[in-house]
Every structure is written in C-alpha cells, then in structure tokens.
Amino acid sequence: WHHVAVTADRRPIRVIAHRGASEDAPEHSLAAYRQAITEGADALECDVRLTADGHLVCVHDRRINRTSNGRGAVSALELAQLAELDFGSWKSPAGTGAETPDSADPERTTVLTLDRLLRLVAEAERPVDLAIETKHPTRWAGQVESRLLDLLARHPLPGQVRVMSFSARSLRRVRLAAPGLPTVYLMQFLLPRHRGGRLPAGNLIAGPSIRIVRRDPGYVARAHRAGHEVHVWTVDDPADVELCARLGVDAIITNRPRTVREQLDRL
Ligand code: G3P
Ligand code: CA
C-alpha cells in the first residue's frame, strides 16, 4: 500500500522534466526528452532562443560555450552552423577518451529545434505536456513569441502546451495573439507586489523558485487563494520535494523526473 502525494484539492502533483531528464542526459537533447517520457514525466520543460536565421532552438544560455564544442551567441549563429556542433559530449565524464555514450549518439549531441521537440510530443506513446520558456525575448521585439506561435499552429497540441517566462511582457504578447494558451509567470525572487499571491493580470500559473518557497512557505497557499496553480523550479533535493508535497504545490520542475516521481509515490 502506498500513497500518492496530492495537492490540497486532491490532484496528484505533476512532475515536469527540466530540460528533459537532464541529470543523466545532455540537457535539451532529444535523448533527454525521450528518457523523461520513459521515466514517467507528466510534462517536459524547455528554453527557446532565436538563431540568426530565425529558428527557435532549445538552448538555455545566451551563448553556446557551456553546452557545445562551439563558441558564441545563439543569436549570432545560423541553424546550419549549430547543427554541425556537438551539444552532448560536454556531459560525458572528462578524460574518458574518444568514444563516450554522448559522442556516439546524434540524439544526444545534435542541437534540438523546437519544431523537432513538438513532433516528439505529438508522437509520444502517451500524452505529455510541454512547458516552453521564452528566454530574454524582449530583445527581439516579439519575434520569439511570433515564431513560437507559428510553430504551435503547425503542430497543434491542444491543451498540452503552456508558455513560461520571467518577462511579463513576453507572456502578454503570447496571450494577445493566443488567448487560450496558459501562461506561467516565473519568479526568481518575490517582489513586494506579488507577495500576496497575485500575478500580473492574465497569468494562470505561478512559477516561483524553490528558494522563494523555502523562505516563505505560506506563498503557496496565498497563490492558491488568489486562484493560481503553483509550479516550483528547480527541485532536485529530496527535502525540497517533501516540502513541496507538504505544501500541496501543483507541479515540481526537476532535472531528475524518475527519482522525484518515486519519492512522491512513496509519500
Ligand atoms: O522552469 C523554470 C526554470 O527553468 C527557470 O530557470 O534558468 O533553469 O531556465 P532556468
Ligand atoms: Ca527554463
């Protein structure tokens, strides 16, 4: 007999795979997302950035230096240039020689486009949600959001997609063009005007960092009272998972979907 951790209104806490199963596989690789689906994630999280030739790719940092064997800003490189680079081998243990699991498998090393990720979700064996984060979109005057909405129009996944951002302006642009798409307002710190649980108008879901929740556990109940779901990032530590479960958050965003799922199932 075991209990499934549930939110205050008795729905199971959902597990969202942050950049895929990114503790094990290279973040934002097709392999990391396939693994997350296999491990039972309810949703996949990805960051998107615009290339110099207008493609959305799943890359977290402004520059590709940390996660590839290339250098430079995503925005200064074309998709064909990114496609020639290795986005996976950095994850392999250093000094292990030529052939590693990461360097041998194109699904671990090839830069992932949002287009490809949408196809993966559309073709998945079971329904899985997608939480897409627009990264620093204010610099591109709406191009990130319009490209994103073009892609979603081409790969309709009704009810499965939400858009996240630290930028209220980006989320407003998304809602103006696609009023039905839920938006998640991400917060690194709790600004005084958000302490009561209210979000900038129109956002359905609060996305506080785990630091906010540790410092101010009452935030979760206040956001719920204000009518918002609460999706917390990035929660890898078992003590934090337990805290989130106790507070009845709606979703946990984690690099280790299998471990978190197993812990929640034991609670
Ligand atoms: O899911 C939200 C979280 O991913 C925001 O932080 O830096 O990991 O994109 P970051
Ligand atoms: Ca992110």
pLDDT at 137: 61
pLDDT at 96: 52
Task: Say if residues 47 and 106 touch (Cβ distance below 8 Å).
Answer: no
State pLDDT tens for residues 183-219.
Answer: 999 999 999 999 999 999 999 999 999 999 999 999 9
Domains and CATH numbers, the chain: 14-49+114-266 (3.20.20.190)
**Residue 1 pLDDT exceeds 50:** no
Q: What ligand is nearest to the CA atom of residue 16? A: 1
Helices and strands in the chain, H and E counts: 11, 9
- Of 96 and 60, the structure prediction assigns the larger pLDDT to 60
Cα angle vertex 231, ends 28, 158, to 5°?
Answer: 70
Q: Sorting pLDDT into bands at 50, 70 and 90, what band is 141?
A: confident
Does the structure's ipTM exceed the value 0.85? yes
Identify the DSSP state of 76: G
Task: Say if residues 45 and 253 touch (Cβ distance below 8 Å).
Answer: yes
Averaged pLDDT, 98-106: 67
- Residue with CA closest to ligand 1 atom 7: 60
Determine which one of 3, 28, 55, 60 is catalytic. 60
Q: Is there a catalytic annotation at residue 55? A: no
Among 4-13, 142-151, 239-248, the least confident range: 4-13
pLDDT at 3: 45
What are all long-range contacts of 54-57, with beta carbons under 8 Å and residues at least 24 apart? 54/143, 54/147, 55/79, 55/113, 55/115, 55/147, 56/113, 56/114, 56/115, 56/144, 56/147, 56/148, 56/151, 57/82, 57/111, 57/112, 57/113, 57/114
pLDDT at 4: 52
User: Who's near 260: CB < 8 A, 6+ residues apart?
Assistant: 15, 235, 236, 241, 252, 254
pLDDT at 92: 77
* Ligand 1 pocket check for 18: Cβ under 6 Å: yes
What atom in ligand 1 is closest to the CA of residue 47? 9
